């Protein structure tokens, strides 16, 4: 049975931004190359005036760093340092401290391990071929919903959470920003990710992106107001 | 084709993410009279404002802790729409007498801030009371006296350790006898939305008390909106100007009549 890697994603403005005529602070990129795939999602911090640029810079920083991932020979510290360096360059001319943003990413090289990581809140999750669910999540053990780490001038590699999974064991990687992750019930996060992945098997990626957007726009949590972004890289069996 | 492919309803929280607000109010004997009347009015207006704000995108939970002759959880953490307001009483001296068996003047006039902060901290650290899926809680401490117990360790723990240290803290000193130094330490290190250091609010009469409460209410309400918006919302009270201690925690420099030749009763003139 053949399979192919596909990706889809969507990002919608939160209701508070719509009401205030403010832009979406979230951003995501799906970058597909001969050497592999990269998905990134980022959430600009609400309290920072230019964080919408910070989130865009974060996504570009990861994609740029991923180009050289093969040559880094699995050195994740080097990758994370490069992402930070790229972000500081990409965010110019804005001040980094006024443009802070979270960062969630997954890099699937043509061969080898899929690496995924996050800085700040949100959810980075994996479904494996045996049906298991693995996640990186900011459980807010010692804080509250609107408090998070984020890319800044002082970011260090120790602030990141990072994990990897063998490519042949991975069915899907899903990243979502705080606007989605924070509303998911802790016990249902795995079921939610499976739901997205299983539905993703049915339709073309472009259709899935449209449906995903509809889901985020019709988010069922009362008084939800955050920007919402979800991006998924998944393996489709017999895919074209 | 109107049917949605993705249905997240089964996986998400059924309730809105609330902003917890905890009022920590001194109701010792020295608060009796116009002070407690004005405080009750100010809190009632705050509650009504939160209820109105709930019609929009916000959700507020409110708890009220009073401290005087005893420490009471007057209002457990509850959604504001479910709260039916009842005035805060002055803590009962009779109750103190029943407990101690004697007339304990110190206890009757007590301001057990240290014990209050320990109880408050336990409340904040308890995730069944304040879960993680809430906005940063706002703690509003209002007092008109000096602490009568050991408070420094409790304050340090509250402001430097655990979840309580992450809370947004406000403090208001009522009247001339309030311990501005201690209240100032409660808000040390806290910054406003615009990055400026949080200042101690000072209520010297009924009007400034209500104005300060209105200011806090607006700030807290705005902070919920700011949490999900890309620009810092600067709180600009239109009709409300809070009375702050500008430098250090000295007494406020208000336009007051000279007090030198006046008796305490006479020099009130609306000031506490």
Q: pLDDT tens digit string along A2-60? A: 778 999 999 999 888 888 788 899 999 999 999 999 999 999 988 788 999 999 999 99
pLDDT-derived band of residue B244, with 50, 70 and 90 as boundaries? low
Residue B149 CA from chain centroid, whole number: 20
Chain B hits for A219, Cβ within 8 Å: 8, 12
Q: Which residue has the higher pLDDT, A193 or A237?
A: A193
- What does the pLDDT look like over A119-177, one tens digit per residue? 999 999 999 999 899 999 887 777 888 788 899 999 998 999 999 999 999 999 999 99
Closest residue to B225, CB basis, from A16, A212, A227 = A16
- Residue B104 scores a pLDDT above 50: no
pLDDT-derived band of residue B170, with 50, 70 and 90 as boundaries? very high
Closest residue to A188, CB basis, from B5, B11, B229 = B11
Q: Does B231 touch chain A if contact means CB atoms closer than 8 Å?
A: yes
CA B104, CA B96: separation in Å to the nearest integer? 8
In this prediction, residues B161-166 reach a mean pLDDT of: 90
Determine which of A5-9, A229-233, B2-6, B66-70 has the lowest per-residue pLDDT on average: B2-6
Say if the Cβ atoms of A17 and B228 lie within 8 Å. yes
Domain holding A134: CATH number? 3.60.40.10
The length of chain A, given as a count of residues: 240
**φ, ψ for residue B37, nearest 5 deg:** -60, -45
Structure confidence at residue A17 (pLDDT): 84
Closest residue to A225, CB basis, from B9, B163, B228 = B228
Closest residue to B12, CB basis, from A22, A46, A184 = A184
Between the CA of residue A51 and those of A20, A46, A48, B225, what are the distances in Å?
16, 7, 5, 16
Structure confidence at residue A152 (pLDDT): 92
- Residue B192 scores a pLDDT above 50: yes
- What does the pLDDT look like over B194-213, one tens digit per residue? 778 998 998 888 888 889 99
The average confidence (pLDDT) of chain B is 78
**B270-B199-B225 Cα angle (round to 5):** 105
Structure confidence at residue A37 (pLDDT): 95
Say if the Cβ atoms of B5 and A183 lie within 8 Å. no
Structure confidence at residue B137 (pLDDT): 93
Instruction: Confirm if B72 and B66 have CB atoms less than 8 A apart.
Output: yes
The ipTM (two decimal places) reads 0.84
Say if the Cβ atoms of A16 and B135 lie within 8 Å. no
Structure confidence at residue B101 (pLDDT): 46
The average confidence (pLDDT) of chain A is 91
* Measured torsion, CA atoms of residues A8, A227, A193, A221, in degrees rounded to the nearest 10: -140
Number of domains in chain A: 1
Structure confidence at residue B227 (pLDDT): 62
Say if the Cβ atoms of B4 and A141 lie within 8 Å. no
Minimum Cα–Cα distance from A219: chain B residue: B8
Structure confidence at residue B206 (pLDDT): 84
CA B95, CA B74: separation in Å to the nearest integer? 15
Domain that holds residue A175: 3-217+226-237
- What does the pLDDT look like over B35-89, one tens digit per residue? 888 899 999 999 999 998 887 677 899 999 998 888 889 899 999 999 988 888 8
Identify the structural domains of chain B with CATH numbers, from first to last.
14-226 (3.40.50.410)
- Beta strands B60-67; B19-26: pairing state: parallel
Closest residue to A49, CB basis, from B4, B136, B232 = B232
Mutation site for B-interface testing, chosen from A46, A94, A144, A179 by largest number of B Cβ within 10 Å: A144
Chain B hits for A214, Cβ within 8 Å: 4-6
**DSSP sequence for A66-87:** HHTGGGGTT-HHHHHHHHHHHH
The shortest C-alpha distance from A77 to chain B (Å) reads 29
pLDDT-derived band of residue B144, with 50, 70 and 90 as boundaries? confident
In this prediction, residues A92-107 reach a mean pLDDT of: 94
Q: Which residue has the higher pLDDT, A47 or A207?
A: A207
- Residue B232 scores a pLDDT above 70: no
Between the CA of residue B207 and those of B44, B65, B257, what are the distances in Å?
15, 23, 17
Chain B hits for A211, Cβ within 8 Å: 4-6
């Amino acid at each position: 049975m053949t399979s192919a890697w596909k990706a889809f994603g969507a990002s919608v403005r939160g209701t508070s931004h719509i009401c205030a005529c403010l832009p979406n602070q979230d951003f995501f990129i799906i970058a597909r190359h001969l050497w592999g795939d990269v998905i990134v999602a980022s959430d600009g911090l609400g309290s920072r005036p230019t964080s919408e640029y910070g989130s865009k810079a974060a996504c570009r920083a990861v994609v740029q760093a991923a180009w050289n991932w093969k040559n880094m020979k699995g050195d994740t510290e080097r990758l994370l340092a490069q992402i930070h360096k790229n972000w500081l360059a990409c965010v110019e001319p804005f001040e980094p401290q006024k443009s802070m943003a979270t960062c969630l990413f997954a890099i699937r090289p043509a061969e080898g391990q899929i690496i995924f990581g996050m800085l700040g809140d949100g959810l980075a999750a994996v479904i494996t071929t045996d049906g298991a669910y693995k996640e990186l999540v900011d459980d807010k053990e010692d804080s509250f919903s609107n408090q998070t780490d984020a890319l800044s001038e002082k970011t260090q590699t120790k602030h990141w959470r990072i994990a990897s999974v063998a490519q042949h064991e991975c069915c899907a990687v899903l990243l979502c920003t705080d606007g989605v992750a924070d509303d998911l019930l802790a016990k249902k996060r795995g079921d939610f990710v499976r739901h997205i992945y299983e539905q993703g098997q049915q339709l073309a990626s472009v259709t899935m992106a449209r449906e995903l957007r509809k889901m985020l726009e019709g988010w069922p949590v009362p008084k939800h107001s955050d920007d919402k972004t979800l991006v998924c890289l998944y393996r489709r069996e017999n895919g074209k | 084709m109107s049917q949605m492919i993705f249905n997240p309803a089964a996986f998400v929280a059924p309730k809105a993410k609330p902003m917890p607000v905890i009022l920590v109010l001194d109701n010792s004997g020295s608060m009796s009279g116009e002070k407690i009347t004005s405080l009750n009015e100010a809190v009632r207006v705050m509650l009504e404002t939160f209820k109105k704000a709930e019609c929009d995108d916000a959700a507020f939970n409110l708890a009220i802790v009073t401290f005087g002759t005893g420490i009471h959880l007057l209002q457990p953490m509850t959604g504001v729409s479910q709260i039916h307001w009842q005035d805060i009483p002055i803590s009962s001296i009779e109750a103190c007498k029943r407990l101690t068996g004697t007339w304990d003047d110190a206890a009757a006039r007590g301001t057990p801030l240290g014990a209050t902060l320990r109880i408050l901290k336990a409340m904040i650290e308890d995730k069944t009371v304040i879960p993680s899926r809430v906005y940063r809680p706002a703690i509003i401490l209002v007092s008109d006296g000096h602490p009568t117990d050991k408070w420094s360790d409790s304050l340090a723990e509250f402001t430097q350790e655990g979840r309580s240290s992450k809370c947004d803290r406000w403090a208001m000193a009522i009247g001339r006898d309030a311990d501005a130094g201690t209240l100032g330490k409660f808000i040390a290190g806290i910054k406003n939305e615009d990055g400026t250091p949080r200042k101690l609010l000072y209520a010297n009469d009924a009007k400034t008390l209500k104005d300060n409460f209105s200011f806090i209410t607006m700030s807290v309400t705005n902070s919920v909106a700011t949490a999900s918006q890309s620009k810092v919302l600067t709180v600009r009270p239109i009709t409300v100007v809070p009375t702050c201690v500008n430098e250090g925690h000295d007494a406020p420099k208000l336009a007051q009549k000279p007090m030198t030749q006046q008796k305490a009763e006479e020099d009130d003139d609306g000031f506490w």
